[in-house]
Structure 1
């Protein structure tokens, strides 16, 4: 049996780069994340869309733009890991 190891797809690597940048630098705009080597505005936008739908990041309105915020996993009362909602994080909900 030949075992093959597949390398992670571009979307997984993009997600990991974005999460690492947010953990290191705090909230960032899409434009700021687009300046990360190897990233484009389209790749960042797609990843932020995907990550926000899964609850990993949220968007916070700042003036006329938005910042992307990393939602750290929290321990729920039942002891399982969950992502905080925008209300839990004190982040205003977007219309």
Structure 2
């Protein structure tokens, strides 16, 4: 189907192939469900960590942009402002 460009039928062909090869039966077995759950859990954890890293990086970049825009008006470095933000977060004062 893929070689012919018939992408609509590709899904049903894939399911038919998996069924004939016995993969669906193996996947629906208790062992297959357990493995699927573990793989799904790992994938969710990796996604969550990646999203947190991305959001943190984005926030850090925005923080640095704003610091540059002020022309260091406050006379503080990014490290000093990060320390101040950490101390405020420890007191329950956060951005979110």
TM range (shorter): under 0.3
Give the number of the structure whose alpha-carbon radius of gyration is greater.
2
More helix by share: 2
Q: TM-score, structure 1 length as denominator?
A: 0.27
Q: TM-score, normalised by structure 2?
A: 0.27
* Structure showing greater relative contact order (alpha-carbon pairs closer than 8 Å, 6 or more residues apart): 1
Higher strand proportion: 1
